[in-house]
Amino acid sequence: MAQCNDLFILFDANIALKSEKKQSLRTSRNAIRKKIQDHFAQTLKASKPKFWGQGSYMMNTTIKPIEGEYDIDDGVYLAHLAGEKEENWPAVSTVHNWILKAVDGHTTTPPVDKNTCVRVIYKNDYHVDIPIYIKVDDAEHPKLAHKTKGWVDSDPKLLTNWFNCEVTEKGLQLKRIVRYFKAWKDSKKGSDKFPSGMIFTILAANHFVEGYEDDDDAAFVATAKAIYDALNSSFSLTRPVFPEEELFDGWSEGIQTTFLSKLSTLIINGQKALEKDDKKEVADIWRKLFGDRFPEYTSPEERVDKGHAFQTSSPAIIGNHGRSS
């Protein structure tokens, strides 16, 4: 079979968050943090809140979206309420308004007050989501300010730590596999429901198939097959850390069937790619699955021919071509 690990590594480089973009996002995030801290200290006369990054940015599994915006999640922890009992906490709407006022005017687009966070939108195709937490000093876990559900159990630090431990045990290939699943979703989603990035992250870690350290294509197909087998047997996934909730809650049988069909198609075509000997044909299969961000394959002969044509073509004529000096 044709070895395509090199094409997958190039693909990962195409979709992964570049260091320059990561620095730009970090700078924007830090500016928001300072604005919120200043608002608490100067306007609310309260202790400055603390922050903890969460989600794919902290796990290093963010991908460049085909359309839409980069997403950073940056949790704010209200330090001045850490000593208060929950019955003395302000209403969720109140703390959301604190953050809204703190970031208002930071960008030209007004901030958006969502159920689980306040969103700051930047022009350059990205936004920062700011979920709001309180963690009492003697409590094991923080609580999230949810606009419709009130103060709810949530501890995103645990999920980040869990995934990092999985990567330590299974290797950096796991992060690439997660990014491949996200890229597949990005190219195929349309109007159909797909698992969230967090769910794909957990599924990939739970069902990661070892033994293909130098073959990302085979590792990806094997992991996809393991995920399919598990979900086809029981379409269920529990968060691996507190709070241990069912993550496929609300998925109807029809939506489940549609996703499993798409996953099956991915696996069947991925297996065909693994069995082929012609690397160009293999690359074409993966491009149909992932879109044109997956690199094309040019054979060494074609590269030599192109280089020969360039070397033997007539040299460019340098001159003023009739123009006055």
Q: What mean pLDDT is predicted for residues 74-86?
A: 98
More confident residue, 305 or 31: 31
Alpha carbon distance 301, 115 (integer Å): 57
Q: Catalytic annotation on 153?
A: no
Q: Is 305 a catalytic residue?
A: no
Cβ–Cβ < 8 Å for 270, 289:
yes
Q: How far apart are CA 71 and CA 28, in angstroms?
A: 12
CA–CA distance, 246 with 167 (Å, rounded to integer): 23
Each residue's pLDDT tens digit, 13-26: 999 999 999 999 99
The answer for residues whose C-beta is within 8 angstroms of residue 318's C-beta and 6 or more apart is none
Give me the DSSP letters along 65-80: -SSS-EEEEEEEE-GG
H-type helices in 3-142, by residue range? Answer: 5-15, 19-42, 56-59, 92-103
The active-site residue, picked from 12, 74, 129, 217, is 129
Say how many C-beta atoms besides its own lie within 10 A of residue 46's C-beta.
15
Which fold does the domain 16-154 belong to in CATH? Answer: Beta Polymerase; domain 2 (3.30.460)
Domain boundary assignment for the chain:
5-13+159-300, 16-154
Between these two residues, 1 and 231, which has the higher pLDDT value? Answer: 231
pLDDT at 69: 85
Tell me the pLDDT tens digit for each residue of 87-144. Answer: 999 999 999 999 999 999 999 999 999 999 999 999 878 999 999 999 999 999 999 9
Which position among 6, 12, 38, 71 bears the catalytic label? 71
- Judge whether residue 322 has pLDDT over 80: no
The yes-or-no answer on residue 277 being catalytic is no
Which residue shows structure tokens 């645990």? 158
Handedness of CA 78, 81, 87, 88 (dihedral sign): negative
Q: Higher confidence at residue 113 or residue 190?
A: 113
CA–CA separation, 147 vs 78, rounded Å? 16
Q: What is the pLDDT of residues 272-314, one digit of tens each?
A: 999 999 999 999 999 999 999 999 998 776 655 554 444 444 4
The single residue of 12, 73, 155, 186 carrying the catalytic annotation is 73
Tokens of residue 279, six digits = 């690397």
CB neighbourhood size of 99 (10 A):
26
Q: Is the predicted pLDDT of residue 64 greater than 50, yes or no? A: yes
pLDDT tens-place string over residues 141-178:
999 999 999 999 999 999 999 999 999 999 999 999 99
pLDDT tens readout for residues 230-266: 999 999 999 999 999 999 999 999 999 999 999 999 9
From 112, 36, 137, 24, select the one nearest 70 (Cα to Cα): 24
CB 286 within 8 A of CB 294: yes
pLDDT-derived band at 318, boundaries 50, 70, 90? very low
Single out the residue of 130, 125, 91, 126 nearest to residue 113, CA to CA.
130
